[in-house]
Structure 1
């Protein structure tokens, strides 16, 4: 029994030593940036370890994150969050959020992010989260301006980072696996990146005749992300920092950082090469992007004093080619995450970020320059350009019609692929809004029809009013339109507008009042009549007075709004005067009203009859010889517009 206990103890000690050796191996691989092998070593260790340390969990999660294995990274970031909860640092919390988005668990990602922002109490960050999420939801609910296609020229390795070079394209790739004794990058176990140049098919954006770009000038390590001055002679590109003998230089922690090299292209050679004044082996400087006018150099760096893992900077390029002091673009652009791959077109900065609100991984954003190195809040380009994983290195031609970007999205041909896109100008839309009410009672009208017509009379938009009578309808910018409100058994109303060219502008208070048919008629003697006030004529006259015209306009109004109505016109006098005279006077007055109505757009066929009755149809006792007041005689003087069909 004692021997058995001793053997068991020795086995446990041996197993413990073996476990520690496996952990040290994994840590060493991780420190050497050999993340693929490090992840395997950590998994082997963790299979036997029930209570791993926080740093170990963090390392295995990071190893998977760095190599794009988001599913496995999420598994370990979830465990890390379970251990640390609110004490998880910003960098790893952001990576946790990105892996949730990469696996399309947007609900949980948003819940955790909102909780984090509430705890921090930074209102500016909360406002940015709300604004960017609302904007992204909005554009993702609309047709995209971009049509995207994968290029058949992509390899099964990494292809990314395009740059315009006249009519050609220069890009980075690790496709060359034919070099004898060629080095591989332990980070992802792929060959080191080299620069390639290709001809471009203008019709479909495809790349062909692919060759190495200035092959004798590239180092045996990474050569990537290039940008050209307007003359296409002066070039800036990223490369690992190496010694004159092409040996890698590392920082104090053994990391091979990047620098930007400037040079002049002369045939197949690069002359007058020089490092930039802010290159330093202690940190990386890369992803150069020269503005179209050649006056500004944007780049990325993790130099001290930044906001996050990698920030975007800008330096002025003077006429003599020298560079000014680099300036960080500030917290409107840079976050605690990664801002990378800048590209400037006119006054628009395009860049990729995993710190601004997006769909997952690096998303492409745009921001308009408002002043000297000052920018508006970035806007996400939406779900054609962006996916749930890394989307980056976006470039677009000067007319903003086509371009390229890179992505590790599902369905690609390799690690990172180059995608071609065409872009349509976004449709400029405005909103017209208002309320529709009953003209008589001023109450809202529900379910009224709102229709919008262009200047050719074609219907271009429609809507219905809500229960409170309000409506909102989208209309095109910069156009002449007519907005019409109507409802069954109601009149119509319309207004003409001219919209400007301001996107998303709202024209408010385009209000309408409609009359219900029942509010425009009255019933007398079992017949329907147009409800108007008495029409007064001058003594012994039948000319239409201004007062009469106002009342007759009501008849015209109802007949225009209800085109099925047919009426008959009847005119009556009081009993004063001779019977024959009154008959003639009433006939003349009836004809006068008929003439007014038809002259104002009513087809004569819609008036069944026109007749004057004189004093033959009195409405009270005031016949010949009966003494009556003026008010009593007025009751008999009337013009009736009787509805015989509707």
Structure 2
């Protein structure tokens, strides 16, 4: 794809200018992006008995990769990875891409598990996308794709809506642009084309709405409300290219206003900025760049703006989006971020992905748009809008076979928002009363038939984030040994509501609902009293029993013995009978309220057998002392198994 063209054209002059620093001719060709000649020269170097450094071997592996000799690239990457520690995450991604392209997906997954230090998000993204792509039963995915009249023999890419027209970038030759002798490619320029009712583009011409330059102008984004155009351009010193101290000419992002005024927004002589996109709702300017904090190659960032002024440092979108590969061409539409990535778990070089922007501005797992639009080649520069019909339409670029040039722009129509619909379960698990985070809580999702869909554990801060393909009925289960649990089942209506905000769940420790009493572990409930000689439950008693039901439902594995005691007033045998009836009445109520027989393993009425004080038969006691002996205990028989 012409991400390579995009970065190679403007680096070519700088690379040649400092070629004397390279160790060999192979290096010169490699850093000039002439990979076939680099391979030839590196082979000559080895044939002449000259030692190849590990960096040169990696350059050779990269050259094989760039020329689609994936078997050779794989072997070399694996050898280097085995014998040295210089393999960057970016090249690790290329190694896995090479493995994937030689139909060794299981080896890819094995290497992924063996690599230490990879972001959890990357592993989760890979597992999710493998699952989705393996189940891609309908390759069409609703996309109708068509080539466009405006495509030429050179590279045409990066379309952008411009009122009822379309702007795009091209390396086609024009009078205003210089041409590289070695490559035959012109400096990139921005063109405008007319769009007919069917979405075809025609009558392309150089766009005159921005300041002229003999060097790069590319990847425009038009903001209809203000008439401003964001675009990428070469750094210049007067009429000439501007270079940093290493001889590098980088790309900057500028903005041209409809009144002719221009200003730079992002400029650094040593860092290139690509693919600007401005989101009006959040006032974020998204772009791609290769800063030192990148997760691999080129990452997607944003800066916060205010009335066109940049108000923040570049903020990396993080490992949920950015990978050891390259991420480019961000585009936000109706709450979703579309972008392209050459991460190893895709279908080709660059694939188009979609991630949902959640209510707290976090991002869901990026989902590959599938084989209906992505191929084993490169797809990028995806844009979308509502069609005059009920569906969606837009454009993207690809270097797939059958096009007219190096890269072509393709149009597409699709019935609705593209991409797999997913469900996100996210939130935090805490322990009351101070809402302290709970780590290593088990989270599981099951379908309507009880089949496990996904499982995970909470992180150190108690948070969890799980995403699954959409299904109508999902049961969420949250559990941790010696803590209460939660089980909730969602239907389409409640699933939609649940997506709006993270869910915070409180799990109580079983120790919080128990206490020691009479040498036993019992439920910590208030004492209650029956009428003298009676076993009838009263409203006051029922309130306490309802609390017992709540406790057991929080801990469904609890096994209770119900022990009822009387004082010494009355006959010993009658006290025994009434206490037994009271225990049975309590059990009947608890069962009626939803507890099971497995929760109540025994009932016992002890009458006056276990008096707690001196108030035995024949001993005068005050009423409050007799009352101390009137009690019911809910003894937890399996407290050791519950983790206490």
Give the TM interval when normalised to the shorter protein: 0.5 to 0.7
The answer to whether the 8 Å contact 2:351/2:368 transfers is yes
Give me the CA root mean square deviation: 3.7
Local SS of the residue matching 2:237: coil
* Matching residue within 108, 111, 120 for 1:112: 108
Q: Tell me the distance in 2 between the aligned counterparts of 1:378 and 1:202.
A: 32
CA shift for structure 1 position 128: 3.0
Report the equivalent of 2:247: 254
Matched, 1:238 2:227: no
The answer to whether the 8 Å contact 1:292/1:344 transfers is no
The answer to whether the 8 Å contact 1:22/1:41 transfers is no
Q: Tell me the distance in 1 between the aligned counterparts of 2:92 and 2:447.
A: 43
Structure 1: gaps (5+ residues): 1-19, 436-473, 479-497, 506-646
Local SS of the residue matching 1:336: coil
Matched, 1:405 2:396: yes
Change (3 A) 1:313 1:124: closer
Report the equivalent of 1:415: 406
Q: Tell me the distance in 1 between the aligned counterparts of 2:402 and 2:49.
A: 36
The answer to whether the 8 Å contact 1:140/1:383 transfers is no
How does the TM-score come out when normalised to structure 2?
0.57
Local SS of the residue matching 1:195: strand
Q: Tell me the distance in 1 between the aligned counterparts of 2:24 and 2:202.
A: 47
Q: Tell me the distance in 1 between the aligned counterparts of 2:279 and 2:166.
A: 17
* Matching residue within 171, 186, 192 for 1:191: 186
Report the equivalent of 1:540: none
5 Å-filtered alignment, 1:370-449, equals: 370-371=358-359, 373-398=361-386, 401-425=392-416
Q: Tell me the distance in 1 between the aligned counterparts of 2:242 and 2:21.
A: 29
The answer to whether the 8 Å contact 1:230/1:293 transfers is no
Report the equivalent of 2:256: 263
Change (3 A) 1:320 1:200: closer
5 Å-filtered alignment, 1:542-561, equals: none
The answer to whether the 8 Å contact 2:139/2:372 transfers is no
Local SS of the residue matching 1:317: strand
Report the equivalent of 2:267: 279
CA shift for structure 1 position 21: 13
Local SS of the residue matching 1:261: strand
Local SS of the residue matching 1:58: helix
Report how many residues are paired. 413
CA shift for structure 1 position 406: 0.8
Local SS of the residue matching 2:306: coil
Q: Tell me the distance in 2 between the aligned counterparts of 1:475 and 1:252.
A: 53
* Matching residue within 181, 185, 208 for 1:214: 208
Greater C-alpha radius of gyration: 1
The answer to whether the 8 Å contact 1:428/1:501 transfers is no
The answer to whether the 8 Å contact 1:354/1:361 transfers is yes
Deviations 1:417-445 (A, max 9, x none): 1111111237989999669xxxxxxxxxx
Q: Tell me the distance in 2 between the aligned counterparts of 1:304 and 1:129.
A: 24
CA shift for structure 1 position 225: 0.7
CA shift for structure 1 position 112: 3.1
Q: Tell me the distance in 1 between the aligned counterparts of 2:236 and 2:284.
A: 26
The answer to whether the 8 Å contact 2:22/2:28 transfers is no
Matched, 1:78 2:55: no
Q: Tell me the distance in 1 between the aligned counterparts of 2:197 and 2:311.
A: 35
Local SS of the residue matching 2:358: strand
CA shift for structure 1 position 212: 0.5
Q: Tell me the distance in 1 between the aligned counterparts of 2:153 and 2:138.
A: 33
